[in-house]
Amino acid sequence: MQGVRDGIPGIQEPLRQTLHGALVDDSVLKNAARDMTRSAVEVLEARLGSPEMRRQVDALVAQAMESLQRDGDETVRGLIKAAGGTLEAELRRVAIASILAATTSLRDSLERDVTPAAQRLASRMGEELVISVVRPGSADSPTT
């Protein structure tokens, strides 16, 4: 048993280097973190371009037009009567442009901030795993 215990410190550093290379330095973790962020962005973009989102924009425009008709003065009602279809189309265009701008901003933020953070997290988790598997001095610790 003494020979085994004496040999463990000799394999710890090569084992640590091997694990570190596989778990921390490997580009697979960084690519996985990037891919997760891209996947989240794709889901978000698909959701924002979905028929359900178009229905929600249509409902928002209809509600705005109703509110203007109901609560607006004679000038507003006259404007709605004269330019109702054009006004609805413009409200819809503005709502969709706003959603697109928000989506673009969110995507840029995710790519700029979340992807590197996810990569750092993956690397840190790999480092912690290496530390937990190869503890310096673990050959000196008593066995039960």
Would 67 be classed as within a structural domain?
A: yes
Would 69 be classed as within a structural domain?
A: yes
Alpha-carbon gap, residue 50 to 65, rounded angstroms: 23
| CA dihedral sign, ordered 26, 29, 30, 35 | positive
Would 143 be classed as within a structural domain?
A: no
Using CA atoms, how far residue 105 sits from 41, 100, 139, in Å, is: 11, 9, 52
The highest-confidence range among 104-108, 118-122, 132-136, by mean pLDDT, is: 104-108
> What is the average pLDDT value for the chain, to the nearest integer?
78
Q: What pLDDT digit, counting tens, does each position of 10-38 carry?
A: 667 777 777 777 766 667 777 877 788 78
Would 61 be classed as within a structural domain?
A: yes
Total domain count, the chain: 1
Would 102 be classed as within a structural domain?
A: yes
Q: How many other C-beta atoms lie within 10 A of the C-beta of residue 36? A: 15
Question: Which is higher by pLDDT, 143 or 80?
Answer: 80
Would 24 be classed as within a structural domain?
A: yes
Alpha-carbon gap, residue 83 to 91, rounded angstroms: 12
Q: What pLDDT digit, counting tens, does each position of 66-87 carry?
A: 998 899 899 888 888 888 789 8
Alpha-carbon gap, residue 91 to 89, rounded angstroms: 6
- Burial bucket for residue 118 (CB in 10 Å: 0-12, 13-18, 19+): buried
What's the first-to-final CA gap in the chain, in angstroms? 13
Domain that holds residue 82: 7-133
Would 144 be classed as within a structural domain?
A: no
| CA dihedral sign, ordered 74, 77, 78, 79 | positive
Would 140 be classed as within a structural domain?
A: no
Q: What percentage of the chain reaches a pLDDT higher than 90?
A: 8
Alpha-carbon dihedral 10, 13, 18, 24, rounded to 10 degrees: 160
